[in-house]
Amino acid sequence: HQNLKILGRKCKIPIIKNCRIRSALATSSAACNHRSPPIKTSSLTALSPYLQSEWRPILSGWLCSAVSVYSLSKFVPLAGQLSSSIAVSNLESVRKGALVLGVLLSIRIVANYLQQAFLWDAALNCAYKIRVYVFDRVLQRDLGFFESGNGISPGDVAYRITAEAEDVADTVQSLLNIIVPSALQLSAMVAQMLIVSPQLSLISALVIPAMALTVGCLGEKLRAISKEANLSTASLAAYLNEVFPSILFVKANNAESNECIRFKSLASADLSARLKKKQMKVLIPQIVQIMFFGVLLILGATSIVVSKGSLNCSVLVSFMTSLVLLIDPIQDVGKAYNELKQGEPAIERLFNLTLFKSQVIEKPDAVNLASVMGEVIVCGLSFSYGDGMAPVLNNLDLHIKAGETIALVGPSGGGKTTLVKLLLRLYEPLSGSILIDGCDIQNIQLQNLRRHVGLVSQDSVLFSGTIAENIGYRDLLSGVDMDRVRFAAETANADEFIKCLPNQYEAPVGPRGSNFSGGQRQRLAIARALYQNPSILILDEATSALDSRSELLVRQALQRLMQNRTVLVIAHRQETVLMAERIFLINDGKLQQLSHSALLDGQLGSLAAGLVV
């Protein structure tokens, strides 16, 4: 459990820290292709820890519901008495009865309001906690889950955590706010009916089994249809998530109408799935209304009993009142059952995101290195992205001395970025090891390792927020140190354009840094690495997409960034490569050292394809 303050209230969020407990549920094949197996537990079992954590508002809501039902059950005999009093024109008794009825009604209104308020509070808090838990677990998943083409798309994940978590809130509220209070009202009214007239009650009971059976069957159908509808909307969300970040590319290729056709086909699939779902949703409450046939049966039966003169007016009115009050909760239970069935796929899909087996696991006795000199030894490293896939790195050896700058060149797809991912332990190697200052990275705490190893990549990732927040990203929670931010920006040649912005360091950064040029984004990324001040720095094609002026500024920034640390520079530009003390060519998963002169003489031919002079 983690204590969090939500909406001014202290809440305990059940967070399962040790993924190995839950990962026992995941099969080993799931670990390979990063897909989760379908959730095995029932939806209610999955929800139960969250419901338990909200026991206070749930209990308060149900107490209010009991008060409301109690006041309603008092209506039944009172209605009978009132009708008798009216029949004998006993005005005093009518007045008294009306007063009590007014008080009961007021109690019911207040109790109903409080019941709804408490139970919605519980339902929304449950959904909030589930959302936070699922997001936390998704962030912990291996990089492979996000990168593998056959996994779940980011748009689908976003849809589950937003829209489907909302469905979960609706389901929980139906469960708490409708099923339980309606069941209470239902039992109270049935009890009243039995007290008033057992024979008439038996006749009404005849229709209930048939109704329950039909509703049960339809509920299962609704569950399947809801799952289909959720999947189609998730595909729509995944598509949108892809198309808007690529809008420049879409426009440049005149592909707006093509994309519109693709969207239309996905949206029409979604439309038919949703239509099916809605049709089933409206059908179930209609089936529940079979109950009204029961009323007809009872009316027929009462006419026989009344004609025989064995039923007085007061009993008849009381019985009919309880019968009428029974119809509402039965309909409500039908509706809530609907909600529950359509919410089940959402609950399954959300929790399925949390069931996985990590390949990158931190050892319990992993060490925390306070400081690092920066010696890196790569020893017999082999790696492939999956079973049956060609090896990307093949028994690779490399020794980088502390403080040394090494350049890595090679054809695109040669495995340069893969080596970087392994250095950051974002994937596990098939065999071999990587040592930092003599310590295998498998024995270093993951956060500690990624603090000492800094990365500036080709796509310098910026987030929505301010410039200062982007540079001091590492300290976002603990508080960004503005002096360090300014120093980093100055060293990275970024302060010249930051100072021209209206709010300077507080200027907003658009989604993915869209309001800055490539060179500016790159300098901000370098400033971020300077802020982090890692002992080992990796530059993965950090200057590949720049114009010459930007490149000069960025190269100056990089030179300052590279001082006093171990640097692995992956580059396309000859000038950048020549800044290194040693140069290696990576090809077919193997390394080969190159001399500076070989590079300058252009002796490498196609091997160093992509190298720009």
Binding stretches for Mg ion (CB under 5 A):
416-417
SS3 letters for 163-179? HHHHHHHHHHHHHHHHH
Which residue number, 334 or 410, has a Cβ lying nearer to ligand ADP?
A: 410
Site membership for ligand ADP, residue 413 (CB under 6 A): yes
Q: What is the rounded CA–CA span in Å between residue 178 and residue 361?
A: 44
Based on the shown chain and the rule CB under 6 A, indicate whether residue 559 belongs to the binding site for ligand ADP: no
By beta-carbon proximity to Mg ion, the closer residue of 49 and 411 is 411
Q: For Mg ion, which is the closer residue by CB, 152 or 419?
A: 419
Residue pair 27/37 in contact (Cβ under 8 Å)? The answer is yes
Helix (H, G, I), strand (E, B) or coil at 34: coil
Structure tokens at 310: 């064995």
Point out which span in 6-14, 183-191, 313-321, 413-421 binds ligand ADP (CB under 6 A): 413-421
DSSP line for 286-318? HHHTTHHHHHHHHHHHHHHHHHTT-S-HHHHHH
Residue type at position 24? A
Closest by alpha carbon to 576, among 361, 378, 405? 405
Between CA 182 and CA 329 the distance in angstroms is 5
Q: Which amino acid is at 175?
A: L
When asked if residue 429 is in the footprint of ligand ADP (CB under 6 A), the reply is no
What residue 147 binds from ligand ADP, Mg ion, none (CB within 5 to 8 A, per partner kind)?
Answer: ligand ADP
Q: Please say which residue, 41 or 544, places its beta carbon nearer to ligand ADP.
A: 544
The entry of ligand ADP, Mg ion, none that residue 80 binds, CB within 5 to 8 Å by partner kind: none
Per CB under 6 A, contacts with ligand ADP among 358-377 are none
- What are the b/e assignments for 566-578, b being 16+ CB within 10 Å? bbbbbbbbbebbe
Nearer to ligand ADP, 416 or 425 (CB): 416
Q: Report which residue's Cβ sits closest to Mg ion.
A: 417
The beta strands (E) that lie in 442-594 are given as 453-457, 465-466, 508-509, 536-540, 566-570, 582-587, 590-594
**Measured between alpha carbons, how far apart are the two ends of the chain, in Å?**
57
By CB under 6 A, tell whether 418 contacts ligand ADP: yes
Q: Per CB under 6 A, which region of 50-58, 405-413, 502-510, 518-526 contacts ligand ADP? A: 405-413
Residue closer to ligand ADP by CB (options 413, 510) is 413
Q: Is 392 in the site for ligand ADP (CB under 6 A)?
A: yes
183 CB-near residues (< 8 Å, 6+ apart): 329, 333
* Segment lying near ligand ADP (by CB under 6 A), choices 196-204, 412-420, 476-484, 552-560: 412-420
When asked if residue 35 is in the footprint of ligand ADP (CB under 6 A), the reply is: no
Q: Which residue from 174, 165, 65, 75 is spatially nearest to 125, judged by alpha carbons?
A: 165
The minimum distance between CB 468 and ligand ADP, in angstroms, equals: 31
Nearest distance in Å: CB 409, Mg ion: 11
Exactly one of 57, 329, 343, 415 binds ligand ADP (CB under 6 A); which one?
Answer: 415
State the angle between helix axes of 55-87 and 91-140 in degrees (0 to 180), rounded to the nearest 10. 160
Q: Are 390 and 173 within 8 A, CB to CB?
A: no
566 is a contact residue toward ligand ADP (CB under 6 A): no
Nearer to Mg ion, 339 or 540 (CB): 540
Residues 6+ away with beta carbon under 8 Å from 330: 182, 186, 288, 291
Tell me the closest approach of the beta carbon of residue 589 to ligand ADP, in angstroms: 9
Tokens (6 digits) for 433: 């090891």
DSSP secondary structure letter of residue 457: E
| Cα distance between residue 323 and residue 447, in whole Å | 65
**Residue 412 interacts with ligand ADP (CB under 6 A)?**
yes
Q: Which run of H or of E encompasses 514?
A: none
414 lies in the binding site for ligand ADP (CB under 6 A): yes
CB of 418 to Mg ion, least distance (A): 8
Give me the least distance between CB of 415 and ligand ADP, in Å please. 4
Whether 329 contacts 182, CB under 8 Å:
yes
* Residues 141-180, interacting with ligand ADP (CB under 6 A): 147-148
Q: State the binding partner of 392 from Mg ion, ligand ADP, none, CB within 5 to 8 A by kind.
A: ligand ADP
Q: Least distance to Mg ion from the beta carbon of 610, Å?
A: 10
Q: Which is nearer to Mg ion, 349 or 416 (CB)?
A: 416
Q: What is the 3-state secondary structure (H, E, C) of 77-88?
A: HHHHHHHHHHHC
Q: How far is the CB of 609 from Mg ion (least distance, A)?
A: 13
Residue 595 site contact among ligand ADP, Mg ion, none (CB < 5 to 8 Å, cut-off depends on kind) = none
Indicate the residue among 76 and 393 with the shorter CB distance to Mg ion: 393
Query: Which residues are registered as beta bridge partners of 383?
Result: 393
Among 27, 4, 2, 35, which Cα is nearest to 17's?
2
The helix, strand and coil proportions of the chain, stated in percent and rounded to the nearest 5, come to 60, 10, 25
Instruction: Kindly state whether residue 416 participates in binding ligand ADP, applying the rule CB under 6 A.
Output: yes
Q: Which is nearer to ligand ADP, 345 or 414 (CB)?
A: 414
Does 199 participate in binding ligand ADP (rule CB under 6 A)? no
Min dist. Cβ of residue 427 to ligand ADP (A): 8
Please choose, from the candidates 164, 166, 172, the residue with its C-alpha nearest in 3D space to the C-alpha of residue 352: 164
Q: Which stretch binds ligand ADP (CB under 6 A): 132-140, 195-203, 320-328, 414-422?
A: 414-422
Does 592 participate in binding ligand ADP (rule CB under 6 A)?
A: no
Report, in Å, the least distance between residue 117 CB and ligand ADP: 48
Residue whose CB is less far from ligand ADP, 331 or 358: 358
Q: Which is nearer to Mg ion, 227 or 416 (CB)?
A: 416
* Residue 589 within binding range of ligand ADP, rule CB under 6 A: no
Q: Is the Cβ of residue 281 or residue 416 nearer to Mg ion in the bound state?
A: 416
State the burial class of residue 544 (Cβ atoms within 10 Å of its Cβ: 0-12, 13-18, 19+). middle
Q: 265 vs 226, 237, 269, 293, 469, CA distance in Å? A: 19, 13, 6, 44, 40
57: partner contacted, choices ligand ADP, Mg ion, none (Cβ within 5-8 A by kind):
none
- Under the criterion CB under 6 A, does residue 534 sit at the interface with ligand ADP? no
Choose between 554 and 586: whose C-beta lies nearer to ligand ADP.
Answer: 586
Q: Are 491 and 562 contacting, i.e. CB atoms less than 8 angstroms apart? A: no
Q: Which residues bind ligand ADP (CB under 6 A)?
A: 147-148, 385, 392, 410, 412-418
